[in-house]
A and B are shown apart, each in its own frame.
Chain A
Amino acid sequence: MTLLDSKQGNSHDPRRKMEQNVNRGEAIIKVEGVSQAFGAEGDPRRVVALESATLDIARGELLSLIGPSGCGKSTLLNIIGGLTTPTTGRVTIDGQVVKGPSPQKVAYVFQENTLFPWRTVIDNVKLGMAFQGVAKGERHERARHSLEAVGLLDFSDHYPAQLSGGMKQRVQLARALGLQTEVLLMDEPFAALDEQTRMVLGEDLSVLLARTGKTIIFVTHSLVEAVFLADRVAVLTARPGKIKRIIDIEEPHPRKSEFMTSAKLGNLRNELYGLLHDEIRKTMTHQPAEAGAGA
């Protein structure tokens, strides 16, 4: 079973995304002059992770954030999700300023495994809904649906420890989908997986996400993953992270596996590599030790 077995969201037209690429809709998320510094002003250890980032994210688009380690990609994601309060600037979702987690609008898929080991797969998905405030009677059916969407319905009663790394990430995705939010934030969800697993998961994810029509921000280290999944790729500079360039990926969703091997993807990847190369060098010469301020 794969992510492709989804019966969820069949009413969505897969071409919806393509049209939005051409004629991008209104911005659902606005990032306005957001900076984030760790440590007090004047402290020699003060680290500016992110500097005046400004970015609009259109409804229904998939935006990849890519940049060297420590450039503030995850910090930016956490600010959008309301898990971190920015030092300056603000983020609005649907016109409302983000002041804390907004579980009704935003769901997360984390890099690390955050499934609760003492609960079964389906109970993990249901617990997320309980936290969000879904009525008790609805949780079971909704949890079954989202597990079916990621192809893990048969593993409902397993415990997370009995699943592989890739399966755990799919359960985390199911938990996020079960919350039925408009926005999905994914923080290097496949970083801990091997390359082959992440390639297949990436293809499945493209199909699934095209169907759901969600607005997605996807942080990744992988150039190929960024190009393959995203409508736009935002490249961040070395710390302090600024948005260096945004590249459009004009390719209809869902992305086919042929796109993975196409010259078009190769060229875009090379363009990203050119943009990133100098930034990565900078981080290696200027920052011999990782300050641990968040990637």
Chain B
Amino acid sequence: MRPKLGIGQRLIQLGVLILILVAWYVGTLPGHINPLLLPPPAPVFKDFWQLLTNSSIWPDLWVTVHEWLVAVAIAAVAGCTLGYIISRSAYAVRVFDPLLAGIYSIPAILLFPLYLLFFGLGSGSKIAIGTTIAFFPVVLNTIAGLANVDKAYIRAAQSMGANDFQLFWSVMLPAAFPVVLTGLRLGCIIAFLAILGGETISSLAGLGHRIVSLAENMESAQMFANIVFAVLMAFIINGVVSFAEARGRRGFQ
């Protein structure tokens, strides 16, 4: 676990954020950057506040969150199941682990045009790209976690008479759990990024869709407000998932 940050480090982090805001403010003073390209902070925050107070964003937000939840659920179930099956045999691990790791290194977003053809412009293609991207860290970490359980634990459990189910439930699973959890966290975060990316490329609804259509209408301030909202969402998802990971780890220690 990371040591708690001191007040000094917090101040530096805050300082960097303030510096960006100041640069933004100074850069968009009259006579500098064209406000159509980069609107000044004040109207952006005014629009952001409106976004939070009126409910016009909820339908699009729900579309994105729904796509994300479905993608993560499919990736988690498929990744953990396949990872478990592969980890059962050392031979399968030697064959499939490098193969999956190799496929993982291909930028999966390249599949998105294909998914658009297969699943259409709606949620289907976003769920497909989110699932594809989240699947790999989940399956790879499940294999790594289960295949690398200390042999001494297994030997000790067997010497005491553990059957296959007990060995899996009481030894393999808790030993592998932290590694699997890390895979799930990574999957959750990159699935959200992929879905937002997919929505900005081609979609009918969702946060990414909103941002692109506002950009096309030259509503720069509103577009930036929506970007801020999306960034905030990513932060929240990261926070929630990391918190769940830490809790999950502690539950098993």
Query: Residues of A with Cβ closer than 8 Å to B?
Result: 81, 83, 101, 103-104, 106-108, 110, 112-114, 116-118, 127-128, 130-133, 159, 175, 179
A-B contacts, 26 of them at CB < 8 A, read: A81-B159, A83-B158, A101-B158, A103-B159, A104-B161, A106-B159, A107-B159, A107-B160, A108-B156, A108-B159, A108-B160, A110-B152, A112-B152, A113-B152, A114-B153, A114-B155, A114-B156, A116-B153, A118-B175, A118-B177, A118-B253, A127-B170, A131-B161, A131-B166, A132-B161, A159-B253
CA–CA, A12 and B157, complex, Å: 30
Residues of A within 8 A of B177 (CB): 118
> Is A131's CB under 8 angstroms from B160's CB?
yes
Residues of B within 8 A of A132 (CB): 160-161
- Size category of the binding interface on chain B: 10 to 19
> Is B155's CB under 8 angstroms from A110's CB?
yes
5 smallest CB-CB distances across A and B, nearest first, come from A103-B161, A114-B156, A131-B160, A131-B162, A108-B159
> Is A118's CB under 8 angstroms from B161's CB?
no
- Given A130-B166, A159-B253: A101 in contact with B159 (beta carbons within 8 A): yes
- The chain A residue sitting closest to B173, CB to CB, is A118
Partner of B152, one of A81, A114, A159: A114
Considering only residues 103-162 of chain B, those with a C-beta below 8 Å from chain A are: 152-153, 155-162
Partner of A83, one of B159, B163, B171, B174: B159
Decide yes or no whether B91 CB sits under 8 A from chain A: no
Partner of A117, one of B160, B163, B253: B253
- The chain A residue sitting closest to B157, CB to CB, is A131
Residues of A within 8 A of B175 (CB): 116, 118
Residues of A within 8 A of B153 (CB): 114, 116
- Distance in Å from the Cβ of B181 to the closest Cβ of chain A? 13
Residues of A within 8 A of B166 (CB): 130-131
CA–CA, A142 and B123, complex, Å: 58
CA–CA, A116 and B162, complex, Å: 14
Residues of B within 8 A of A118 (CB): 174-175, 177, 252-253
- Distance in Å from the Cβ of A23 to the closest Cβ of chain B? 32
- The chain A residue sitting closest to B171, CB to CB, is A116
> Is B161's CB under 8 angstroms from A133's CB?
yes
> Is A116's CB under 8 angstroms from B155's CB?
no
CA–CA, A112 and B154, complex, Å: 13
Residues of B within 8 A of A175 (CB): 160
CA–CA, A256 and B152, complex, Å: 34
Residues of A within 8 A of B158 (CB): 83, 101
- The chain B residue sitting closest to A133, CB to CB, is B161
CA–CA, A117 and B166, complex, Å: 17
Partner of A101, one of B152, B161, B170, B174: B161
- The chain B residue sitting closest to A113, CB to CB, is B152
CA–CA, A112 and B150, complex, Å: 11
CA–CA, A71 and B109, complex, Å: 57
Residues of B within 8 A of A106 (CB): 159
> Is B159's CB under 8 angstroms from A116's CB?
no
Residues of B within 8 A of A117 (CB): 253
CA–CA, A154 and B162, complex, Å: 27
Looking at B155, B160, B171, B174, the one whose CB has the most chain A CB atoms below 10 A away is: B160
CA–CA, A159 and B166, complex, Å: 21
CA–CA, A112 and B151, complex, Å: 11
> Is A83's CB under 8 angstroms from B155's CB?
yes
- The chain B residue sitting closest to A100, CB to CB, is B158
Considering only residues 163-218 of chain B, those with a C-beta below 8 Å from chain A are: 163, 166, 170-171, 174-175, 177
- The chain B residue sitting closest to A114, CB to CB, is B156
Residues of B within 8 A of A113 (CB): 152
CA–CA, A46 and B67, complex, Å: 57
- Given A118-B252, A118-B253, A131-B166: A179 in contact with B160 (beta carbons within 8 A): yes
Residues of A within 8 A of B163 (CB): 131
CA–CA, A179 and B159, complex, Å: 11
CA–CA, A132 and B158, complex, Å: 9
Convert B218-253 into 0s and 1s, putting 1 for each residue whose CB lies closer than 8 angstroms to a CB of A.
000000000000000000000000000000000011
- Distance in Å from the Cβ of B201 to the closest Cβ of chain A? 44
- The chain B residue sitting closest to A108, CB to CB, is B159
Residues of A within 8 A of B160 (CB): 101, 103, 107-108, 128, 131-132, 175, 179
- The chain B residue sitting closest to A185, CB to CB, is B159
Looking at B152, B156, B163, B166, the one whose CB has the most chain A CB atoms below 10 A away is: B156
